[in-house]
């Protein structure tokens, strides 16, 4: 039997405080001034706590890029037509997208998951089918999906992670593709944070001012029509979310349950993190925030979650491209923790307190 959402939520436990204390002690003994590697030190300690190991290794790296269509594209919220979602899946499978290039650079495999692309696909090498439906419904006319479909998306994400565990999995990066998904993500953020749509909605594919104003009105209408319950993340996902967003929420929850660090990409992955941490606040400790997206609502989203990004490169592509860079830094952090010599090992004198200290 596939693992249910309820079961996976029960498996999410606090980080290993003993491993974190041991990692902090080792960091303090390495041949450098205390704290001189900054965020890399903090990151190595967090990963030690996630893995429950003093010297965690991140050899087996996977980017899970989930793809789905959105019915709200009928409201003309994007510069690109809906068929681009399908076309980009084929590009991923051919290795021609930015995520393919960057993942190859760090030695990560890319798992492309069809969560609900309009028209579907014949079986294709490298494409994992977790189809919920041929895209969501138009959320300005009613719920984007049923409550059961929302649960199914999360459980599909859990299943993807569990299948990857058999191939060995040390760290996960989240990625997405789906025309219209910044609209869904903005609606999720507005619903859960209480912030008005105009404060959390950005330009997505690069729309101009007039189309941005229209996009905001579309989100306002969707929230008014559906009235998602901010105390019920599954209701929010069902009313104004997307299949790939729910799937990524499942990836995050499974990562936390199986003690695997999850590096989240940009705004869409952030929306998935909102859903996941709404269901399990403990899951937040297993998240590494790769970067601050140029998408307008991402900074507010991360502030709402209490997460701090590692990078700010003005990226807003999605696909998992930012997550790849975050994984690179995570591996750099663990390598310094594991491989640097201590003062004693290197016969280097340690710092001495200044007079009067």
Known catalytic residues?
A: 319
Residue 155 to residue 250: CA distance in whole angstroms: 6
Using DSSP's 3-state secondary structure scheme, residue 205 falls into coil
Residue 316 to residue 90: CA distance in whole angstroms: 21
Q: What is the DSSP string of 298-335?
A: HHHHHHHHT---SB-------TTHHHHHHHHHHHHHHH
Burial class (CB in 10 A: 0-12, 13-18, 19+), 128: middle
Residue 6 to residue 279: CA distance in whole angstroms: 10
Residue 186: both structure tokens together: 């903005």
Residue 144: both structure tokens together: 């984007």
Residue 128 to residue 89: CA distance in whole angstroms: 11
Residue 305: both structure tokens together: 């979650």
Burial class (CB in 10 A: 0-12, 13-18, 19+), 317: middle
């Amino acid at each position: 039997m596939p693992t249910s959402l309820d079961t996976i939520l029960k498996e999410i436990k606090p980080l290993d405080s003993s491993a974190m204390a041991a990692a902090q002690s080792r960091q303090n003994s390495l041949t450098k001034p205390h704290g001189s590697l900054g965020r890399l030190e903090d990151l190595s300690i967090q990963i030690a706590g996630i893995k429950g190991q003093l010297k965690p290794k991140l050899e087996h790296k996977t980017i899970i890029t989930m793809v789905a269509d959105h019915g709200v594209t009928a409201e003309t919220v994007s510069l690109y037509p809906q068929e681009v979602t399908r076309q980009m899946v084929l590009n991923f499978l051919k290795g021609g997208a930015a995520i393919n290039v960057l993942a190859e650079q760090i030695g990560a495999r890319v798992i492309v998951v069809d969560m609900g692309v309009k028209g579907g696909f014949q079986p294709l090498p490298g494409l994992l089918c977790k189809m919920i439906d041929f895209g969501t419904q138009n959320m300005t006319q009613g719920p984007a999906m049923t409550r059961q479909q929302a649960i199914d998306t999360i459980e599909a994400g859990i299943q993807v992670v569990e299948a990857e565990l058999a191939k060995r999995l040390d760290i996960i990066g989240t990625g997405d593709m789906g025309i219209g998904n910044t609209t869904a993500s903005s609606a999720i953020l507005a619903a859960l944070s209480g912030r008005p749509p105009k404060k959390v909605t950005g330009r997505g594919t690069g729309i101009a001012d007039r189309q941005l104003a229209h996009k905001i009105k579309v989100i306002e209408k969707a929230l008014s029509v559906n009235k998602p319950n901010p105390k019920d993340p599954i209701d929010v996902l069902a009313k104004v979310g997307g299949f790939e967003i729910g799937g990524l929420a499942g990836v995050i929850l499974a990562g936390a349950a199986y003690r695997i660090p999850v590096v989240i990409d940009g705004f869409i992955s952030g929306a998935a993190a909102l859903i996941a941490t709404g269901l399990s606040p403990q899951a937040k400790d297993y998240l590494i925030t790769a970067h601050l997206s140029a998408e307008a609502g991402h900074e507010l989203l991360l502030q709402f979650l209490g997460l701090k990004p590692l990078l700010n490169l003005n990226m807003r592509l999605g696909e998992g491209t930012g997550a790849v860079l975050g994984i690179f830094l995570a591996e750099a952090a663990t390598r310094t923790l594991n491989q640097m010599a201590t003062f004693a090992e290197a016969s280097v004198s340690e710092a001495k307190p200044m007079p009067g200290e």
